[in-house]
Structure 1
Amino acid sequence: MALKVELKPNERIIIGQVVIRNDEQRTRFFIEGDAPILREKDILTAANADSPAKKIYLALQLMYLAQDPTHGHQTYFELVREFVQAAPSSLPHIHEINNCILSSDLYKALKAAKKLIAYEAELIENATRV
């Protein structure tokens, strides 16, 4: 079954190793086959990875898009170790991400990492209130 994708004007999408940018009109197309796909709203650039949780998301994103996802494991696990040392209460989120990695579902790991980013924002907000 093909994946239906609709792009807004000038929206970008990554399919495999290629970035595709839409023209001025809304576009719909179907993707048949197996390739990593990220819509622009889910893409994080290195410049925007300005927090520890976002750096974890970026590492996962690079693993997801890589032809050999194990290449980024060392970076990912170093970032996770530092994050858990700083915020031990984040461990349930990390376990969820790790379980997705172990089951080779890096797209779900990215979704779980978005929850980690939201959790980190909560921690920072609570810390600044005190």
Structure 2
Amino acid sequence: MLRISLRDNEKIVINGAVLRSSGRTDIVVENEAAILRGRDVMAPEDADTPAKRLYFACMMAYLDPENLVQHQSHILTLFEQLIHALEAPEAKANCVAFARRVAACDFYRALTECRALIAYEAEALGRLLPADAA
């Protein structure tokens, strides 16, 4: 059983259906379901960096299990591109943790690992770009 408290007008995705709360709402989920809060959902147009594209592909695998093989293939392609571009040991460790979660089809926890990669990527890009270009 999972209890979720939503703020007024907060979005949540449950098994691919987008729901929006009307007022403060408590939801109790009593069986297995793919659930993401609105703040964890990424729009396709926001997947504009390698780590964000990996997050989006993983999110789709989590929310769309009927097309799991296609999503896993896409994740593998994106993962290979990203891990070869990373240099920092902690970022590579996050990639390995992400890959283990994906291999176990634990996409929800893989998304957590991917958020760490997005943060690392943003920090690395911030160091490369001049302050006025960011």
Flag whether TM exceeds 0.5 (same fold). Answer: yes
1-structure distance, mates of 2:102, 2:83: 17
Over 6 Å off, 4+ runs: none
Q: 2:26 aligns to what?
A: 28
SS at match of 1:33: coil
Task: Give, in angstroms, the shift of residue 123 of structure 1.
Answer: 1.1
Deviations 1:91-129 (A, max 9, x none): 222111011112221111000000000110121122236
Q: 2:114 aligns to what?
A: 113
SS at match of 2:28: strand
Q: Which runs of 5+ in 2 are unaligned?
A: none
Identical-residue share of aligned pairs (%): 30
Deviations 1:2-23 (A, max 9, x none): 2111111111101102111111
Match of 2:77, as an amino acid?
A: E
Q: 1:79 aligns to what?
A: 78
> What number of residue pairs does the alignment pair up?
127
1:8 aligned to 2:7?
Answer: yes
Please give the TM-score of this superposition, normalised by the length of structure 1. 0.90
SS at match of 2:9: coil
Deviations 1:59-94 (A, max 9, x none): 000001112433301111111122223224332221
Match of 2:14, as an amino acid?
A: I
Q: Alignment RMSD, CA only?
A: 1.4
Q: 1:123 aligns to what?
A: 124
SS at match of 1:57: helix
Larger deviation, residues 68-77 vs 40-49 = 68-77
Q: 1:92 aligns to what?
A: 93
2-structure distance, mates of 1:99, 1:84: 14
Please give the TM-score of this superposition, normalised by the length of structure 2. 0.87
Classify 1:64/1:35 alpha carbon distance in 2 versus 1 (closer, same or farther; 3 Å): same
Q: 1:46 aligns to what?
A: 44
1-structure distance, mates of 2:29, 2:71: 26
Task: Give, in angstroms, the shift of residue 57 of structure 1.
Answer: 0.2
